[in-house]
Amino acid sequence: MPITRLNHAVLYVRDIERTRAFYEGVLGFTTLVFLPGQAAFFQAAGSTNDHDLGTFQIGAGAGPSAAGRSTVGLYHLAWEVDTLAELSRLATALGGAGALVGASDHVTTKALYAHDPDGIELEVCWLVPAELLTDELRAASKSRPAPLDIDREIERYGADTRGGVGVSIPAAS
């Protein structure tokens, strides 16, 4: 069974309205189905998927996730963007929402880390295009991540260079 990509994620949340405001207002998702007090299904901008994220409300009394601290569970979701300009825009939006908790340069991947309103961690990343990957970059990516300087990366790769093609998305044949 060759898996080619993740189709969608599903999260349990405390407050569906608050979740909707975050994923629409900060990350630019579109709400496809909204059942007040129950569930919401979202599509990422540019996606043709029937939904990229499903969320189900379980109420304000739900405790925080202990995954990684005292239980096993999901660490984070990673959403890929097409350009460094979009990554920069999202850094500003996540920072403005008080959700941005980190930014790392993994050499071949440039990543932002944030928490949604329930404290669920998410990553937004841009991948260096396959045609720009060198053996030197691949070797360097095995070292510890460095702090991300998006402006420096835009200077290096260009604000509108499409990332990830050929890495996570097969090249058109």
Question: What's the CATH number where 33 sits?
Answer: 3.10.180.10
86 with 160, same domain: the answer is yes
* 110 in the same domain as 52: no
pLDDT tens digits, one per residue of 103-150:
999 999 999 999 999 999 999 999 999 888 888 888 888 888 999 999
In a domain, 66, yes or no: no
CB 113 within 8 A of CB 101: yes
Q: Which residues pair with 71 in a beta bridge?
A: 67
Range with the poorest average pLDDT among 14-23, 63-72, 85-94: 63-72
Residue 6's domain spans which residues? 1-59
Residue 43 lies in a domain: yes
Residue 69: inside a domain, yes or no? no
Query: Quick one: 55 and 80 in the same domain?
Result: no
Residue 173 CA to residue 158 CA, distance in Å, equals 25
pTM to 2 decimals?
0.89
User: Between the CA of residue 62 and those of 16, 49, 76, what are the distances in Å?
Assistant: 13, 30, 19
* Band of residue 5 on the pLDDT scale cut at 50, 70, 90: confident
**pLDDT tens digits, one per residue of 12-21:** 999 999 999 9
